[in-house]
Amino acid sequence: MKYSLILVALLGFTACTAAEPAPTVAKQVAPAPSNVTVVCPTGSCEKAPEVQKVEVIKPIMPEVQKVEVIAPIELAEKPKDKEDVLDENQDLIIGVVGQGVAPMNTSSPAQAYALAKRAAVADAYRLIAEKVKGVRIDGQDLIKNMMVKRSTVRTSVKAMVRNANIVETTFKEGLCEVEMEIVLSHSDFAQ
Amino acid sequence: MRSRDGNRTFSLRLCSVILFNSLALNASEFLISYSYTVKDATLYNETLNISKAMKKCSGTPQKSFIFDTNGEKDLKKIISKNNENFINYIHKLGLHINHNDATQNYQQSSSTTLTLKTTCFKVDFNDNFAKISPLK
């Protein structure tokens, strides 16, 4: 009896639900798989390249080197005392030491001294000329079969020097040294 | 016009003209050149040329130098007696320097020539001294 009552109730419920109109919900149905044939116009179609995954690589940054701060050289920090420049208000003194030797065949020490001194004076004049006017230098190297055959350096000085003074002369063991100086003033060069 | 105290100005003029002429007659002009060469720090040769000028030189006297002559009138003898002083004087006047140096296969050789180009000097001879000065 009990089961019959439950059965009736169920039948009644189903009858009610069947009587109500069904809601119109469009159900999308997945299309059935179909065979598609692709015709290439050129006839040489290849498989489409797969999209390559682009990996973003982090740029390798060089390690920052530790730079030690070194104290600048004294010369750069403290510029040398004013360069010697011929100033209008101040004279410039140039000093040199010329050297000369006596020839081997001298008749007396006095002659040796005189000749050595003359040579030393010439050397001193040359040094003054080099300092004041400058030196012309020519060089030539001859290389053959990857070897230096001859290496030549030629220097020349041409100048006119006047009013140079001998400060001191020493003669020792055949070598004569003459210390000379010249006073340069701006008016000497003014044109 | 004669002055009251005689012809004094005239005599002064005459004396000055005589003095000037005597100085001028004693003055001579000489051409002097000097050169020496030093090779490898050794004196190679030295030349001093003195010649009496055959033409009158132009120019004004410059820095002068005084020799002790003791009555000597020959410039060559005077200079040879005062050789060292005269060479120093020439150096002061100014010398042309020509230096050449060559280093070949690490062997060096050098040559330096100092030259006084031929210059006209005016020389005034007096009893005990002579005054020489270049004309420029």
What ipTM is given for this predicted complex?
A: 0.78
Is the pLDDT reported for residue A17 higher than 90?
Answer: no
To test the contact with chain B by mutation, choose from A153, A182, A188 the residue with the greatest count of B C-beta atoms within 10 A, namely A153
- CB contact (8 A) between residue B97 and residue A160: yes
Residue of A nearest to B91 (CA): A162
Q: Tell which A residues from 64 to 103 touch B, by Cβ distance under 8 Å.
A: 99-103
For A85-136+162-189, CATH number out of 2.115.10, 3.30.1660, 2.160.20, 3.30.310 equals 3.30.1660
Q: Which residues of A touch B99 (CB under 8 A)?
A: 126, 129-130, 155-158
Residues A144-172 have pLDDT tens digits of 999 999 999 999 999 999 999 999 999 99
**pLDDT tier for residue A74 given thresholds of 50, 70 and 90:** low
Residue of B nearest to A104 (CA): B42
User: Nearest C-alpha of chain A: how many angstroms from B61?
Assistant: 17
Q: Which residues of A touch B111 (CB under 8 A)?
A: none
To test the contact with chain B by mutation, choose from A105, A118, A140, A141 the residue with the greatest count of B C-beta atoms within 10 A, namely A118
Is the pLDDT reported for residue A77 higher than 80?
Answer: no
List Cβ neighbours of B38 (8 Å cut-off, separation of 6 or more): A100, A118, A119, A122, A123, B44, B111, B112, B113, B114
Q: Is B102 on the interface with A (CB under 8 A)?
A: yes
- Which of B43, B105, B112 lies nearest to residue A150, judging by beta carbons? B105
Q: Is B107 on the interface with A (CB under 8 A)?
A: no
Minimum mean pLDDT range among A33-37, A93-97, B13-17? A33-37
Residues B69-110 have pLDDT tens digits of 888 888 999 999 999 999 999 999 999 999 999 999 889 999
Q: How far apart are the first and last CA of chain A?
A: 148
Sign of the Cα pseudo-torsion (B51, B56, B58, B60, in order): positive
